[in-house]
Structure 1
Amino acid sequence: MSFLTRFARQWIAGETLDDAIAQAKKKNNAGIRAIINFLGEHVKDEAEADNNVEENLRILRAIEESKTKASLSIKPTQLGLDIDKNLCLSKVEKIVSTASSKNIFVWIDMENSPYAQGTVDIYLEIIKKHKNAGIAIQANLKRSESDIARIAASMGIIRLVKGAYSEKMEIAYTSRSDITRNFSKLMAYLFYKSPFFAIATHDDRLINEAIEANKTHQKRLEFQMLMGVRDELKRKLVREGFAVVDYIPYGKNWFPYTTRRVRERKRNILLILRSVFDI
């Protein structure tokens, strides 16, 4: 295993689907569900997008056959959003439709801001036919408040995240305090408007805020976190009776994902170094 691969393994199950299923099973044994993601993005060739569709269908078969408690997460640019929105929609629909037949949920990841409108449009089309799909919304983007209102009005399901992409201050909150404040605001809206949603953060303050709010609102709530980050907190939440989900990516295209994880939180650098050097 190369140094860089060892560096990335803090957050990545490995290069193969078998690696991801094994990691998901391990989490299931600890009372934690999984979200499996095949790494890759910004495909420019339709044949490659088709190959990615097939890999995602293979994930669905593996989840079903192994009886793993897991959902699937997909990235629109991996499925051709850079080529054509309608082409991407058709490929997302094929995956979500197949997942529906297997009673598997599909999360549509949100990528950086140029793809936000296309991703929301695709999601709103998908849920006209299928109810087994949710979408990630980034609290750092200023447009997210209106996106959440549109999605909630259509009975969509939201995974609220802080956002890991570097964005311009004209369209995004860029300070940690402003992002956290907007996350809190959007989360409060979800507690009032959505029967089921996911809080995807490792931030103690926001997690505790969600726990307190749920005492009043009693929503179907789950906490989602990244593989390899705050595992003790995950176990604590499980012991307290909360639904906890681990985001488990795999594949050879790990570099962009790992770079975002490092940029997202300086503390993550220490976590990786500990995994590499066993300190």
Structure 2
Amino acid sequence: MAATIPYRETIELEKAFASAMKSIARRADLKTHIEQTPALYSLLNRAAARYVTGESRSDGLAAQQRLMDKGYAVSLEYIGENTTNLQDCEDAQAELSHLISDLSTRNKAARVSFDLSHIGLLLDHELTYRHLIALAEQAKHANIELFISMEESAKTDDILAIYKRAARNYSHIGITLQAQLNRTEQDLIDLSSGTSRIRLVKGAYQEPESISIARSSILNERYLRLIEQAVEQGHLLSIATHDESIIDEVVRRGWIQSSAVEFEMLYGIRPDLSCKLNAAGHPVRIYLTYGQEWYLYLCHRIAEYPPNLFQAVLDMSAAEQLAPLRDYNGKNTQLVPRH
């Protein structure tokens, strides 16, 4: 008879595994080794294809169009963060500019997301601000939102300071807040002086217990409080979660009925849930990514839900190339119930 691991030990193992994956994600030596080993790079890239649309801008734009045709809103991110080379920061800013230009020619409402550390935060705050303003000015006349992602807690003060400075003149810039951080309720209060565009996430980064709380029912309660706080303050809110207990509560409380509130979900994560909400007429935005910096992104997706490791192995060994877009149905598509 096969041995079974007690439930409590399983939970502890999953927590330890998630912590290890977050550490692995930050190992520059492992990332370099993967990039310099073609066979390994190709293998892991097959697993990343579940969560990343491809390595080129055209991949992201093609996925965006197909999802918008099915009735979803879309956010596009050119993957990258913690850039420490000036030329790489300039290149990232140029790529984001090209993305905005390509989106503007399609004459559809769109959102572009990015990390400030991709465009200069680790080098110079003024450089970062200039890059952000240049992108904001370009997006201003093209009906395109810019959304700043949140990063490790050590960067939060700097990210919020640059966001607030830019948002004074560019209302189409949004900011991401992490519910896991103890400071976030106060950060949201500090944004109450005007209507802001906010994406609320639980938080994917490994943070000290002294400043954050782990994923738990307590974090879920805080997340719901923050949603209520944001709705009462009149913010434009993206509820970025795949947690069905939270989603059900948002629907039950009627928050999603507001035109200022939407659900946001990561590409490749629970497409069945996105389809269900989309078919029910709820506004759903799919967060798409593209680019070559997919290593950290893949590690985080596995860390957030350890069974995704099993899925990664299946994807790497599959006979056919993965095509996650097939899993997204349009508003009027009959859904197959889950069992």
The bucket for the TM-score relative to the shorter chain is over 0.9
Shift of 1:189: 0.9
Letter in 1 for 2:183: R
Letter in 2 for 1:107: F
SS in 2 for 1:2: helix
Name the counterpart of 1:213: 253
* CA distance, structure 2, for counterparts of residue 244 and residue 273 of structure 1: 29
Name the counterpart of 2:104: 64
- Does the 8 Å contact 2:109/2:144 carry over to 1? no
Please point out which of 106, 115, 118 is paired with 1:78: 118
Letter in 2 for 1:239: A
Name the counterpart of 2:193: 153
Q: Cα 1:96–1:215, aligned 2, differ >3 Å: closer, same or farther?
A: closer
Name the counterpart of 1:33: 73
* CA distance, structure 1, for counterparts of residue 293 and residue 256 of structure 2: 43
* CA distance, structure 1, for counterparts of residue 141 and residue 222 of structure 2: 37
Name the counterpart of 2:271: 231
Shift of 1:265: 1.6
* CA distance, structure 2, for counterparts of residue 217 and residue 231 of structure 1: 21
CA deviations over 1:224-248 (Å, ceiling 9, x no partner): 1000011121122112221111111
Shift of 1:276: 3.4
* CA distance, structure 1, for counterparts of residue 130 and residue 252 of structure 2: 40
Shift of 1:65: 2.0
Name the counterpart of 1:178: 218
Name the counterpart of 1:168: 208
Q: Cα 1:260–1:48, aligned 2, differ >3 Å: closer, same or farther?
A: same
1:18 aligns with 2:77: no
Shift of 1:69: 4.8
Shift of 1:212: 2.0
Name the counterpart of 1:262: 302
CA deviations over 1:191-221 (Å, ceiling 9, x no partner): 2112421100000011111112225973521
Shift of 1:68: 5.2
Shift of 1:127: 1.1
Please point out which of 237, 240, 249 is paired with 1:197: 237
- Structure 1 portions without partners, runs of 5+: none
SS in 2 for 1:92: helix
SS in 1 for 2:177: strand
SS in 1 for 2:192: helix
1:248 aligns with 2:276: no
SS in 2 for 1:14: coil
TM-score normalised by L of structure 1: 0.94
SS in 2 for 1:35: strand
* CA distance, structure 1, for counterparts of residue 259 and residue 64 of structure 2: 25
* CA distance, structure 2, for counterparts of residue 129 and residue 98 of structure 1: 13
Name the counterpart of 2:86: 46
Shift of 1:35: 0.8
* CA distance, structure 2, for counterparts of residue 215 and residue 161 of structure 1: 16
- Does the 8 Å contact 2:136/2:170 carry over to 1? yes
CA deviations over 1:139-190 (Å, ceiling 9, x no partner): 1111111111112323221100010001000111124333222211211211
User: What is the aligned residue count?
Assistant: 279
Letter in 1 for 2:178: Q
Please point out which of 132, 144, 163 is paired with 1:123: 163
SS in 1 for 2:113: strand
Q: Cα 1:197–1:215, aligned 2, differ >3 Å: closer, same or farther?
A: closer
- Does the 8 Å contact 2:264/2:285 carry over to 1? yes
* CA distance, structure 2, for counterparts of residue 89 and residue 171 of structure 1: 27
Please point out which of 125, 132, 151 is paired with 1:111: 151
SS in 1 for 2:144: coil
TM-score normalised by L of structure 2: 0.78
SS in 2 for 1:248: strand
* CA distance, structure 1, for counterparts of residue 43 and residue 257 of structure 2: 47
SS in 1 for 2:52: coil
**Deviating more after overlay: 243-252 vs 216-225:** 216-225
Name the counterpart of 2:32: none
Q: Cα 1:2–1:144, aligned 2, differ >3 Å: closer, same or farther?
A: same
SS in 1 for 2:199: strand
* CA distance, structure 2, for counterparts of residue 176 and residue 223 of structure 1: 20
